[in-house]
A and B are shown apart, each in its own frame.
Chain A
Amino acid sequence: MRRSRFNQGKRRYKRKHYRGKPQGGKPHSKRILASPDSDHTIEHRIAFLGNPNVGKSSIFNILTGSHQHIGNWPGKTVEKKEGHFLLSDEYFSLVDLPGTYSLSAHSEEEIITRQFVVEEKPDLVCAIVDATRLERTSYIALQALELTENIALIVNMMDLAEKENIQIDRQKLEEQLGIPVLLVSAFDNSCIIRIKKFLYDALHTEKYTFTPAYLLYSQKLETMINSVSRQIEDRKILKDYPTRWLSIKVLEADKWVISKLEEEYVLDDMFNKIEKLKKSENFDPADEIPKRKFRALKGIVKKSCIGYDDFKEKLSDKIDKVVMHKFWGYPILILIYAAFFLITFYASGPIINGLDYLLTSFSEIVRGWLGAVNSPIFLTSLIVDGVLSGIGAVLLFIPIIVIFYILVALMEDSGYLARSAYLMDNVLGKFGLQGTAFLSMIMGLGCNVTGIMATRTIKSERDRLSMILTNSFLPCAARLGVIAFLTGIFFEPWIAAMLMLALYAMSFLLVFLSAMFLKLFLGKSETMPLIIEIPEYRLPRLKNIFHLTWERAGIFVKKAGTFIFIASIVIWFMSNIPYGVDSEYTIAGYIGRGLAYVTEPLFGFDWKMVVPLLFGIPAKEVVISALSILYYIPGSSIVATLRAAWTIPQAISFLVFQLTYAPCFATLASIRSETKSWKMTAVGFFYPLIVTSLITVVVYYSLLPFF
């Protein structure tokens, strides 16, 4: 045990350094940019890694500003964020790796992170840690230290640490770890230039001698590490990975590493030895290695910092006594989410009406122009009623979505979102789901595409799949629009509100019950119990709110927007060809009348009710405009017309059906891209359709006798 210590300089490593002359012998690690529009011939590639919530994205955002690009890792469902900045005519490209707790193989994110570090060989890996949680957040840095030598450490959140009277001795920390260290706060105005300079120095001068510390484990472990190392030294695969690191991972029973190595080696001897040790001495290297790392970390922190007095009650604890109370927590949760919906609803109403007015006026102006230049009526209608109304359908829903995701971001940045997942764990547990599933459900209430993306945080594969398949049960903003529109026409305000509540309750119930039901088919999977970190409460920051909202609302605009736009034009064609005939005799009319033979006896939907639902399959946003067109009677308002045309059972049956009957095309596309399976995509489409049909029949026939 006494052998476990940090030895510096065991592995001397002299960094190739570069003094800023692009012409001179170029170090091979620097890529020369071929882009003709740039004078910056040197590119430094830097990767940020660290735990969730340490401020990676904050630092990434202030460094890169608007020069960033969010995409996916090729073939993976993990987000990839890239950006760049310039300094002294040199080009620094940054990658914000996903936030993870370690570099094991627990999740796709972790595998991507370590693969990037080793295989892409960034010029510098920058581990970011949180000064207030230095020990825990540095664990991943210690792991990275075993993986690469080009590594620097940024200790963020120094402002909070100072408030807690934590003092960190930068120099001592640097000596202990053998890598450059910067103490910084992302909220400090001078931090941009300090971080840039730090990264520049770390990449350029000899100010920092890179002699990353070298963690020596216990004698028993070292013997085992050496024995694996000897065996795999001359391997042909995984050549970029350090041998020692691979050996450590083998001992940690890392599935990814082991299965790769077993392509070349038989490691059974080693595993037999480990099994024996586990039985005879109760010694499991997979437990021992993290223990050693944390012990080393504790020592480092002790030597270089003061002020981490254990277990003092913080402000967050006091707030949580109420907010996470076993009883009061729930009324508070309901109040917060109720406020959340009321604000989204009432704040977006006037904006939408205003936008609607502007769009209609604009359409009329365009119609006027086109009339003035003698455009054929057919073309005018295509442009105004097809293209413009398509753009309108997208624009109209942006305010709701933006307001919705601003509120989500407020809850997330303040720390409440994680707490609501904690509270909901009790409720969801009854249905075999984890609290984390709640987050994807909330996100889905804005736009199902965003909701499905949010399932990425769900650990159990099976739960994730069932949440992807059922996210479309949750009414997105578009369906909220339909519900609000129709309930407003047919019912008194208070009945409308109750009905709305009932519809939302039904959606959630469907998700819960489906989770239990789908479990029977999606096969067995190890149930992962809930283990989540609950962050400190923080005052939300405008910048974060902006970034988070921008990312999520952006998904709606990009993905859903394209589909809505195209769907609007297709719909125009279907409802206008042959041109000039009554709507009954257009393509849509024929299809609608055909379907009505089925829907009329089952749900009470005549063809005019069927067509909007049909058009609503690609994008729910068009349901209202389709209703307005089909029920258009000159000189009469749509409200009066609909009220006269539909009976109450028909209206309720329509509301129930439209709520859950089919995911929009954008949602289907993301089911496909997240599951990578056409079969699941088909299930994602037909399952809601069948379930909703059954429910609607029951609802319609139970209401009929009363009206």
Chain B
Amino acid sequence: MNTMNKKNYLADSTVNSIVKIEKITAGQKARRFLADLGVLEGVKLRIIKNDLGPILIEVKATRVAIGRGIATKIEVTG
């Protein structure tokens, strides 16, 4: 509860936490492709796996793997 609304990056989010995307600062191409998969600002997602390699998230009932580089450019709160 004490972590509510704390700013964080997707790459640093803990497994199983549910977070909301605040801002995506990745390049335009990557941003668009993320949007096609439903990963955009204001959307809630759950972190399924975050250890080695790409981060696995659940968003809109689908699971999406996102490279670590991009995940450091996604600001989340939650």
- Beta-carbon contact of A425 and B67 below 8 Å: yes
Interface hit among A206-214, A528-536, A698-706: A528-536
Tell me if A308 counts as interface (CB < 8 A to partner B). yes
Nearest A-chain residue to B41, judged by Cβ:
A291
- Beta-carbon contact of B33 and A531 below 8 Å: yes
User: Given A253-B28, A526-B27 in contact, is the A532-B64 Cβ separation under 8 Å?
Assistant: yes
- Beta-carbon contact of B51 and A531 below 8 Å: no
Which listed residue (A134, A253, A291, A529) contacts B30, Cβ 8 A?
A529
Which bucket holds chain B's interface residue count? 35 or more
- Beta-carbon contact of B63 and A531 below 8 Å: no
Which residues of chain B are within 8 angstroms of A528 by Cβ–Cβ distance?
Answer: 29-30, 33
- Beta-carbon contact of A287 and B40 below 8 Å: yes
Report Cα–Cα, A135/B38, bound state, in Å: 9
Report Cα–Cα, A11/B35, bound state, in Å: 28
- Beta-carbon contact of A139 and B38 below 8 Å: yes
Report Cα–Cα, A308/B26, bound state, in Å: 30
- Beta-carbon contact of B56 and A324 below 8 Å: yes
Which bucket holds chain A's interface residue count? 35 or more
Chain B binding surface, main DSSP class = mixed
Tell me if A368 counts as interface (CB < 8 A to partner B). no
- Beta-carbon contact of B32 and A286 below 8 Å: yes
Tell me if A133 counts as interface (CB < 8 A to partner B). yes
Give residues 287-341 of A contacting B (CB, 8 Å).
Answer: 287, 290-291, 294-295, 308, 310-311, 316-317, 320, 324, 326
Tell me if A573 counts as interface (CB < 8 A to partner B). no
User: Given A294-B38, A531-B66 in contact, is the A135-B29 Cβ separation under 8 Å?
Assistant: no
Which residues of chain A are within 8 angstroms of B30 by Cβ–Cβ distance?
Answer: 528-529, 531
Of listed B29, B67, B70, residue having the most chain A CB within 10 A = B67
Interface hit among A98-106, A197-205, A445-453, A682-690: A98-106
Which residues of chain A are within 8 angstroms of B54 by Cβ–Cβ distance?
Answer: 422, 425, 435, 530
- Beta-carbon contact of A290 and B56 below 8 Å: no
User: Given A324-B56, A326-B51, A426-B52 in contact, is the A531-B65 Cβ separation under 8 Å?
Assistant: yes
- Beta-carbon contact of B35 and A290 below 8 Å: yes
For the complex formed, measure the closest distance between the CB of A218 and the CB atoms of chain B, giving whole angstroms. 14
Which listed residue (B27, B46, B60) contacts A135, Cβ 8 A?
B60
User: Given A294-B43, A422-B54 in contact, is the A530-B48 Cβ separation under 8 Å?
Assistant: no
Which residues of chain A are within 8 angstroms of B36 by Cβ–Cβ distance?
Answer: 101-102, 104, 106, 139, 290
Which residues of chain A are within 8 angstroms of B53 by Cβ–Cβ distance?
Answer: 326, 422-423, 425-426, 429
7 contacts between A and B (CB under 8 A): A106-B36, A310-B44, A423-B53, A426-B52, A531-B70, A533-B62, A535-B63
**10 pairs of A and B residues whose beta carbons are closest in the complex:** A529-B67, A101-B36, A530-B67, A326-B52, A290-B35, A136-B60, A102-B36, A426-B53, A311-B46, A326-B51
Can you add 5 more A-B contacts, CB < 8 Å, to A135-B60, A290-B35, A308-B61?
Answer: A104-B32, A133-B62, A136-B37, A139-B36, A532-B64
